[in-house]
Structure 1
Amino acid sequence: MPHGTAPEWVTIALAVVKTLLVVMGGTITYFAFKAFRRTHSRPLGFLAAGFALVTLGSVLGGFGFEILDVWLGLGVLVEGLFVLAGFSLIAYSLKAE
């Protein structure tokens, strides 16, 4: 069944996991941004932006597929691009002084 419709339990599990991912990603982004505002540290700003992009990518990938009815591959591509950009910012934040 590699390119067919997933069983209902898989769809439900995916929705639960994606929801938890958005909650956790939003929480991490919030705390990183709060630390940035308190310290005015540029690396913390990049860290917050990176986590925001990773979280946003997850939302957009699922939203595009489920709501906008785009191809699954396109949704995965959009998610991957946002995650790549977010991880790049996170890596930069760890290197920046």
Structure 2
Amino acid sequence: MSFHDAGLSIAIALTIVKTLILLVGGVITFFAYKAYKRTHQRALGLLAAGFGLVTLGLVLAGLLYEILGVSLTTGILLESTLMLVGFLVIAYSLYAS
């Protein structure tokens, strides 16, 4: 296996993993939002928003890099910032409940 083939294999694996993260994160966000709509508890709404931000952050860097041509480091910075904000919102939702 050449270096190029190994890089392609890793890129494919990363694409698969990021797609699965998007799907699972989307399902978690959906169920948290559904619970919020059923109960109207603010903490569940914040939990859904937090999971949505984390999920978006996890897939954003690659999308920005591949589609919009943003530098990878800028994409990773935005990804990390969204994840941090998402985790802060999740922590607050758990604290506030």
State TM-score, norm by structure 1: 0.91
Task: Name the SS of the counterpart of 2:91 in structure 1.
Answer: helix
Cα distance in 2 between the residues matched to 1:31 and 1:12: 29
Partner of 2:30: 30
Q: Structure 1 segments of 4 or more deviating over 4 A? A: none
Partner of 1:59: 59
Count the aligned residue pairs: 92
- Displacement of 1:60 in angstroms is 1.9
- The amino acid across from 2:37 in the alignment is R
- Displacement of 1:59 in angstroms is 2.7
- Displacement of 1:58 in angstroms is 2.0
Cα distance in 2 between the residues matched to 1:8 and 1:44: 40
Task: Name the SS of the counterpart of 2:70 in structure 1.
Answer: coil
- Displacement of 1:61 in angstroms is 1.4
| Greater helix proportion | 2
Q: Where in structure 2 are there 5+ consecutive unaligned residues? A: 1-5
Partner of 2:79: 79
